[in-house]
Amino acid sequence: MNSIMDWMQSTALNELAVGYAWTWPILETLHFFGMCVLFGALMIMDLRLLGFEKAASVAATDKLYPLALAGFAINLLTGIMFLFGDPYRYAVNISFQIKMVLLFLAGINFLYYKLKVEHMLVNIGPGEDTPGIAKLIGGTSLLLWTGVLAYGRLIPYLGTG
């Protein structure tokens, strides 16, 4: 593991992340912005799955997927930069590790939705309720992403493993 982290510190990504005074604050700002976009879009979609705001169809809220994916892409790129910028800090940090597990579970939840549930919702219009599995997926998504957000924010405070 140390050899991987040593390699990460020897890359151009590390130099970019920590070699300039403004890079880290810019990355933090972009990461925060990406999470706001991602979490905002997911809240609207997941709350509709849970049965809130039935005035909108599920198809209408699904139009927010590109926005959510853009927010995720921003966070993925900036997160990789953080990891390469300080691998010894993140790799052993319990909060970071929990965040990564929650992120993995959120990804599985999303794949399950896309592969098994989404097709069941195409004809659910305004005023109609979603099936129980959609409610479970939406609630699970909200819980997992809230955990990702919370544990990400706790990285500087919970310390290392």
Start-to-end Cα distance in the chain = 15
What does the pLDDT average to over 78-97? 94
Cβ-contact 155, 99 below 8 angstroms:
yes
What does the pLDDT average to over 31-52? 95
Q: How confident is the model at residue 158 (pLDDT cuts 50, 70, 90)?
A: confident
Site of tokens 């509709």: 48
pLDDT score at 56: 86
**Average pLDDT value for the chain:** 93
Least confident range of 14-23, 53-62, 86-95: 53-62
pLDDT score at 160: 67
Least confident range of 64-68, 89-93, 120-124, 147-151: 120-124
